[in-house]
Amino acid sequence: MKIFLDTADIEEIRTAARWGILDGVTTNPTLYAKVGGSYDDVVKEICGITSGPVSAEVIADDVEGMLAEGRHFAKLAPNIVVKVAMSENGLEAISRFAEEGIKTNCTLVFSTNQGLLAAKAGASLISPFVGRLDDINQDGMTIIRELAEIFSIYDIDSEVLAASIRNPLHVTQAALAGAHIATVPFKVLQQMVHHPLTDKGIVQFKKDWESARAAAAARSATKS
C-alpha cells in the first residue's frame, strides 16, 4: 500500500521524504489554511519534493469553474492530480478531465456507490473519508473494503485512497481492506514509527553499550 502525507506543511513533507516512505501528498483547503501563502506556490514546492501524485483541490461548484481551476493546477507540475468533490457537476468535471488526460482524485466520498460512479467517470483516485464516517458511527473501512473488491472484480484501474485517517490502526485496517493508498497526517506517521518497547530498547542498548565500553577502557588502563 502506498503512503501519502495528508498535509500542506513543507517541513513535514520534507521529513517524510527523507525517511524514504513518501509516495505522494494530498492537500485540501483546510490543510492549506493552516500554512497560508499562495496555494500555487505551496503546491509547486510540494511537487518539487515528491515525484508522486500531489492532489490540489478545486473550489468552484460549476463545471466550467472546476475545469478552469483544474487545468490551471495541471500546468503547475506534471505530478498534479486535480481533486474534485463528489457531486453531479464533480462527476461531469472528472469525466471532462479524463478526456483531456488530466488525472483526478474524487474527494468527499462517503458511500461505495459514490466511489463506483467516480471511478466510472474516470477518476484515478477515489477518496472515501474513513474518520468522518467513524465519527458518525458508520464503519468507514467498509467503503474501502467494498470499493477495493469491486475494482478488483471488474478490473477497474482507479485506486482506492483511504482518507480522513485518524490513527495508526486505521492505516493497518486500510491495508488489510485492500486500499491502494492511505493518506495520513504527519502525527499519525510518527505514531506508526514509534513503539514504547522500541524506544525503551534503544535507550537500554545505548546504556549497556556505554557501560561495556567504560568497563573495557578501565580494564585496558589497569593492564598498562
- Give the shortest CB-26-to-ligand E4P separation in angstroms: 4
The residue number with the shortest CB distance to ligand E4P is 164
Please say which residue, 4 or 151, places its beta carbon nearer to ligand E4P.
Answer: 4
Q: How far is the CB of 198 from ligand E4P (least distance, A)?
A: 27
Distance of closest approach, residue 187 Cβ to ligand E4P, in angstroms: 11
Cell digits of residue 187: 502525527
Q: Which residues are catalytic, by number?
A: 83
* Dist CA 96 CA 22 (whole Å): 29
Cell of 101: 488526460
Beta strand ranges found along the chain (DSSP E): 2-6, 24-26, 54-57, 80-85, 104-109, 125-128, 159-162, 181-184
- Considering beta carbons, is residue 50 or 107 the nearer one to ligand E4P? 107
Pick between residue 65 and residue 131 the one whose CB is nearest to ligand E4P.
131
Phi/psi class of residue 37: alpha, beta or left (left: φ > 0; alpha: ψ in -120 to 50)?
left
User: Residue numbers of the site for ligand E4P (CB under 6 A)?
Assistant: 6, 26, 28, 30, 107, 127, 129, 131-132, 163-164, 183
